[in-house]
Amino acid sequence: MLEISADDQVCTASAETPLLDIWAALPIGLYPPFPPVELPGGLGGLVTRGGFAQTFFFGAEVLGLSFRAPSGRLIRAGGRVVKNVQGYDLTRPFVGSFGLLGEAQQVTVRLRPGLGYAHHARPGTLDQPPEALPRFLWQDGSMLHAVHFGHVREVERVMAAFGGEPVDGSLDYRAAFPAGMGVGEHGPLWDLRYRWADGREAPEVPALFRKVAAAL
């Protein structure tokens, strides 16, 4: 299931939908809150891990979702229009919960407009991020990748500051994570939040959050 509303600038898809399927389905000039790369678990996996490569707050771009809690309960949280959202919303705790709250079923993300788009790569590391941050920034081995969209001139400015060469097409990183995507010291990918490694290791869970999970 993959539905895009250009008018409302939202996309709703089943959790297993590959990220690149969403990119392929978008109309010209609308962009999702993730870069054009394929990662384990599709959209649901991405949301469960709290995003990849975003230099903005990914949690705010997830408008709603349904998930199966560890108790077996199906929980619908958030929405896609204001009428569906009456408060008491459990969307954001799910984003970045690394499976502790259960398994995503369907996810709605916000789309944003832009007439310009670019993806560049160059040698570099995240220790020295560019001054003008692109919307998406990640390190793959010794290469730094930047993806930006928005006003044409703003994209030109960000990419001029970043340097590097244009990357055509999309990247599939799934083969780097045969045992699933988690955090870890020796992973092949970095972003500003984590180093991403093969396996399902999650960041340390605050005790308070465990209590919330147990309540669901």
Q: Give the binding site for a copy of itself (CB under 8 A).
A: 49-50, 54-63, 73, 75, 78-83, 85-93, 95-98, 100, 110, 192-193, 203, 205-206, 208-209, 211-212, 214-216
* The one-letter amino acid at 159: M
Asked whether 117 and 23 are in contact (CB, 8 A), the reply is no
The pair of structure tokens assigned to 139 is 């390190």
Q: Minimum distance between the CB of residue 68 and a copy of itself, rounded to whole angstroms?
A: 13
Q: Tell me how far apart the alpha carbons of residues 107 and 105 are, in angstroms, rounded to a whole number.
A: 7
- Which residue, 98 or 117, is less far from a copy of itself as judged by CB? 98
Question: Which one, 73 or 153, has the nearer CB to a copy of itself?
Answer: 73
Of the pair 21, 112, the CB lying nearest a copy of itself is at 112
Residue pair 98/124 in contact by the 8 Å Cβ criterion: no
Q: Nearest distance from residue 169's CB to a copy of itself, in Å?
A: 26
Rounded-to-integer distance, Cα 201 and Cα 183, Å: 5
Tokens standing for 35? 């870069």
- Closest approach, Cβ 191 to a copy of itself, in A, equals 8
Minimum distance from CB of 62 to a copy of itself (Å)?
Answer: 8
CA distance 160 to 108: 33
Please, which residue, 73 or 122, has the CB nearer to a copy of itself?
73
